[in-house]
Amino acid sequence: MGIRGETGVRAPHGPAAAAPDAWTVATAPGGIPLLGHALALWRRPLAFLAALPAHGDLVAIRLGPQRVWLACDPALVQQILMDPRTYDKGGPLYDTMRMVLGNGLVTCPQNVHRRQRRLAQPCFRPSRIADYATVMSDEIGAAVGQWRPGRTLDVTDAMLDLSARVTTGVLMSTSLAPGVAAEVRGCLATVMRGVLLRAVVPLGPFYKLPTRGNRRFDRALSRLHHIIDGIIAERRASTAGHDDLLATLLEATDDEPAPDACATGRGPDRPTAPPAHQEAPHAKEPLTDQEAHDQLMTFLVAGIETTALALAWTFHLLAAHPEEERRLHAELDAVLAGRPPVPADLPRLGRARRVVTEALRMYPPGWALTRVTTTETTLAGHRLAPGSTVLYSAYVLHQDPVAFPDPQRFDPDRWLPERAGSVPSGAMLPFAAGNRKCIGDHFAMTEAVLALAAIAARWRLRPPSARTVRPVPAAVLSPGPLPMVCELRSRPDGAAPAVPSQAP
């Protein structure tokens, strides 16, 4: 390929400008004919990616016929994230997700992003998150209230269930009957599995064949669209009595126009999004039903799995580090004294927050994300043609021993204020950065800290036997099934553990 060991000069602007030394550009070793590095990435994604910074600052990975560039240096990642016009949303996963999420915030191209973000922003204001926290506490209490001592849970599954309850509760409050909420979760799981398959194995026309898997995917997707269309229609007919995220979203207005019909890009049966360089026309319009639909789907897809898997990893790490678990229990016993957490406790749950933050560092759910160049550009001194796919991995960045000494160690105290200040800017990116940074970061942290506190105050989760947990390569980084036994905790002051409330 002629680029192994190629060097370039650091870009003359942005975060990379400070260091004038040469970048190294390389190709990942060990590619095989036809598949390139796809098999290695599929089989051991974290180890494969984590080994690449040793080869260069910018490393080419071959996935079948495609070449993807991994930016290994935090300064290069910042350069990408701070220049969304050049590095727009795209790549196999986003292109496939756009089929499901249309022009929702996660997948929309840059030219319609500003309007989408401004319309969604009121839903994520700190005052709104404070309102949601009460709903979150109630939903967490109801989910955990069903646990019984001695029961073995798949913690990954239990966290998906809990997060689905919280997210649908905050998004749509009473609009989703319990049976339908479970159906939404099942459909989302099927759709996300199908999206991942289509992104990793891009066999185009094959997915139109009436195979069992394809029909299951199509059914789940159209059922989801149907449920969401129904909820929006119901809310349009009568907005009275709702004070949830959807109500805020439907009330939102913006000076910028709604894109015309052809700018909504959901599904092969729906028109596609406009090219990234083409600005949407200007005429003031309210949020359209299609925009509301795409945004609701987006919040469900972006909010449930990410937060759930962050929590699943958190419990896995705590079970493997009893000393850290003991410290967490001490904080929970001191702050809560046996009662369930309420939103007002959040400022005093510093250790719980640090535990979640450290789990996000070690296993960031958004472990590998892509952008596509809209124009010719230079990265690490290497010329990238328009349409090049660039990858950044929070997992790789979070394993940097310079930013995080002893990076494999679970050390929540890294996030004590006096130590966190020494983490270089741009080194910790679980929620990304720039204008495409996660809009749900406070939402997610509020939910995760409340859930961790509610569960760990009452329960200790123990794996029934020693086994190695291997991350499962999916759109979101998952520990796979995590069987754990629920043990009721007794507090050191001898007080009886809180009695689990009855299942609703």
CB of 115 to ligand HEM, least distance (A): 11
| Three-state DSSP class for residue 153 | strand
Please spell the DSSP secondary structure of 162-178, one letter per residue.
HHHHHHHHHHHGGGS-H
**Interacting positions 222-241 with ligand HEM (CB under 6 A):** none
Tokens of 245: 């995220």
Stretch in the footprint of ligand HEM (CB under 6 A) among 34-42, 151-159, 282-290, 426-434? 426-434
Residue closer to ligand HEM by CB (options 299, 395) is 299
* Distance (Å, whole) CA 498 – CA 459: 10
CB of 78 to ligand HEM, least distance (A): 12
Phi, psi of 118 (to 5 degrees): -65, -35
Number of residues engaging ligand HEM in binding (CB under 6 A): 22
Across the strands, what pairs with 392?
71, 369
H/E element, 154: strand 152-154
**Interacting positions 75-134 with ligand HEM (CB under 6 A):** 105-106, 117
Please, are residues 181 and 164 in contact by the beta-carbon 8 Å criterion?
yes
Tokens of 435: 């204008």
Stretch in the footprint of ligand HEM (CB under 6 A) among 39-47, 193-201, 297-305, 456-464? 297-305
Stretch in the footprint of ligand HEM (CB under 6 A) among 218-226, 413-421, 424-432, 490-498? 424-432
Distance of CA 64 to the CA centre of its chain: 26
Q: Which residues of 17-39 are buried (b: 16+ CB within 10 A; e: fewer)?
A: eeeeeebbbbbbeebeeeebbbe
Q: What is the 3-state secondary structure (H, E, C) of 383-405?
A: EECCCCEEEECHHHHHCCCCCCC
Please, are residues 319 and 312 in contact by the beta-carbon 8 Å criterion?
no
Residue closer to ligand HEM by CB (options 55, 89) is 89
* Distance (Å, whole) CA 204 – CA 405: 44
Q: What are the Cα distances from residue 332, in Å, to 219, 231, 295?
A: 44, 39, 36
Query: Can you tell me which of 60, 71, 135, 302 binds ligand HEM, judged by CB under 6 A?
Result: 302
Query: Can you tell me which of 98, 235, 436, 460 binds ligand HEM, judged by CB under 6 A?
Result: 436
In the block, tokens 């596609």 appear at 272
**Interacting positions 158-217 with ligand HEM (CB under 6 A):** none
Query: Can you tell me which of 11, 199, 384, 439 binds ligand HEM, judged by CB under 6 A?
Result: 439
* Distance (Å, whole) CA 424 – CA 402: 9
CB of 432 to ligand HEM, least distance (A): 4
Query: Can you tell me which of 56, 92, 430, 473 binds ligand HEM, judged by CB under 6 A?
Result: 430
Please, are residues 489 and 375 in contact by the beta-carbon 8 Å criterion?
no
* Distance (Å, whole) CA 161 – CA 156: 9
Q: Does 478 bind ligand HEM (CB under 6 A)?
A: no
Query: Can you tell me which of 27, 306, 389, 478 binds ligand HEM, judged by CB under 6 A?
Result: 306
Residue closer to ligand HEM by CB (options 65, 126) is 126
Query: Can you tell me which of 22, 82, 432, 485 binds ligand HEM, judged by CB under 6 A?
Result: 432
Q: Does 307 bind ligand HEM (CB under 6 A)?
A: yes
Residue closer to ligand HEM by CB (options 69, 443) is 443
Stretch in the footprint of ligand HEM (CB under 6 A) among 144-152, 193-201, 334-342, 438-446? 438-446
Instruction: Report the chain's C-alpha Rg in angstroms.
Output: 23
Tokens of 345: 């406790």
Site string for ligand HEM, 339-378 (x = CB under 6 A): --------------------------xx--x---------
**Interacting positions 309-338 with ligand HEM (CB under 6 A):** 310
Question: Could you list the residues that contact ligand HEM (CB under 6 A)?
Answer: 105-106, 117, 298-299, 302-303, 306-307, 310, 365-366, 369, 430-432, 436, 438-440, 443-444
